[in-house]
Amino acid sequence: MTGIHKAYPGVRALYNASLSVREGEIKALMGENGAGKSTLMKLLTGAEQPTSGTIEIDGRSFKYMTPALSEQLGVACVYQNMMLAEQLTVAENIWLGRLPGRFGILDPRRLRRDTERVLQDIGYSGVIDPGQRVADLTASQQGMVAIVRAISRNARIVVFDEPTAMLADREVEELFKVIRMLRERRLAIVYISHRLEEIFRICNTYAVLKDGESVAEGPLEGMTEDRLIALMVGREVTGSNYDATRVPGAELLRAEGLTNERLRDCSLTLREGEIVGLYGLVGAGRTELARALFGCDPLRSGTVSLRGRAERLRNPRQAIDRHMGLVPEDRRRQGLAMLLSVKHNLNLPVYRRQSLFGLVRGRSEREMADRYIRDMAIKTPSPDQRVRNLSGGNQQKVVLGKWLATESKVFLLDEPTNGVDVGARQEIYALINRLAQRKAGILFISSYMPELMDVCDRILVMNRGRIVANVPRTEFDEEALLGYAIRTEATASTES
Amino acid sequence: MPKFPFRLNTQTVVLLTVIALWIFLGFKSPTFLGKENIQNIMVQMAIQGVIGVGAVVIILTGGIDLSVGSMVGFTNIVFALMLAKHGVSLSVAVPAVLLISAAIGLINGALVHDLRLPPFIATLGMMTILRGVTLVISNGSNVFGLPRSLSEMANSNFQGIPYLFLILIVVVVVVESILRRTSFGRYTYALGSNREAARLSGVDTRMVTYGVYMLGGLLGGIAGVMETSRLWMGVPTTGSMFELDAIAAAVLGGASLAGAEGNAIGAFIGALLMTTIYNGAVLLGIDSNNTKVLVGVILLVTVAIDQVRKRRAGE
pLDDT on residue A492: 45
Pairs of residues, one from chain A and one from chain B, whose beta carbons lie less than 8 Å apart: 99
CATH architecture of the domain with range A251-486 = 3-Layer(aba) Sandwich (3.40)
Mean local confidence (pLDDT), A435-464: 91
pLDDT on residue B314: 52
Cα–Cα distance, A351 to A243 (Å, whole number): 34
Residue B193 is nearest to which of A9, A338, A349, comparing CB atoms? A338
- The CATH number that domain A2-233 falls under is 3.40.50.300
Per-residue pLDDT tens for A189-217? 999 887 777 888 899 999 988 878 888 88
Cα–Cα distance, B251 to B245 (Å, whole number): 10
pLDDT on residue A379: 87
Of the two residues A232 and A314, the one the predictor is more confident about is A314
Cβ(B198)–Cβ(B191) below 8 Å: yes
Q: Is the pLDDT of residue B3 over 80?
A: no
- Residues in chain B within 8 Å Cβ distance of A381: 1
What confidence tier does A107 reach under pLDDT thresholds 50, 70, 90?
A: confident
* Residue A416: exposure state from Cβ atoms within 10 A (0-12, 13-18, ≥19): buried
Cα–Cα distance, A402 to A337 (Å, whole number): 12
pLDDT on residue B224: 97
pLDDT on residue B264: 96
Same fold: A2-233 with A251-486: yes
Cβ(B40)–Cβ(B231) below 8 Å: no
pLDDT on residue A90: 86
Mean local confidence (pLDDT), A145-149: 84
Of the two residues B125 and A54, the one the predictor is more confident about is B125
Q: What is the dihedral of CA A396, A397, A398, A403, to 10 degrees?
A: 110
Mean pLDDT of chain A: 85
Report domain extents, chain A. 2-233, 251-486
Q: Is A337's CB within 8 Å of B189's CB?
A: yes
- Name, in order, each residue with C-beta under 8 angstroms of B310's C-beta and a sequence gap of 6 or more: none
pLDDT on residue B69: 97
pLDDT on residue B313: 59
Cα–Cα distance, A55 to A70 (Å, whole number): 11
Q: Is B197's CB within 8 Å of A333's CB?
A: yes
pLDDT on residue B94: 97
Q: Is the pLDDT of residue A33 over 70?
A: no
The angle, 0 to 180 degrees and rounded to 10, between the axes of the packed helices B35-60 and B163-181 is 30
Of the two residues A6 and A237, the one the predictor is more confident about is A6
Indicate the DSSP class of residue A41: H
Global pTM?
0.78
Per-residue pLDDT tens for A170-186? 778 888 888 898 899 88
Cβ(B73)–Cβ(B129) below 8 Å: no
Among candidate residues B57, B40, B78, the one with its CA nearest the CA of residue B238: B78
What chain A residue is nearest to B194 in terms of C-alpha separation?
A: A337
What confidence tier does A223 reach under pLDDT thresholds 50, 70, 90?
A: confident
Cα–Cα distance, A177 to A191 (Å, whole number): 14
Among candidate residues B280, B303, B211, the one with its CA nearest the CA of residue B26: B280
Q: Is B1's CB within 8 Å of A381's CB?
A: yes
pLDDT on residue A494: 43
- Our CA-based measurement puts residue B127 at a distance from the nearest CA of chain A, in whole angstroms, of 29
Q: Is B182's CB within 8 Å of A321's CB?
A: no
- H-helix segments, chain B: 10-28, 35-60, 68-85, 90-113, 119-137, 148-155, 163-181, 183-193, 195-200, 205-231, 242-252, 264-283, 288-312
Residue to substitute from A332, A348, A399, A413, interface B, most B β-carbons within 10 A:
A348
pLDDT on residue B83: 95
Cβ(A54)–Cβ(A63) below 8 Å: yes
Mean local confidence (pLDDT), B79-105: 96
What confidence tier does A148 reach under pLDDT thresholds 50, 70, 90?
A: confident
Of the two residues A48 and B230, the one the predictor is more confident about is B230
Q: Is B201's CB within 8 Å of A320's CB?
A: yes
Q: Is B182's CB within 8 Å of A402's CB?
A: no
**Cβ neighbours, 10 Å, residue B46:** 25
Cα–Cα distance, B281 to B272 (Å, whole number): 14
Cα–Cα distance, B259 to B194 (Å, whole number): 9
| CB burial readout A130-143, b (16+ within 10 A) else e | beeebeebeebbbb
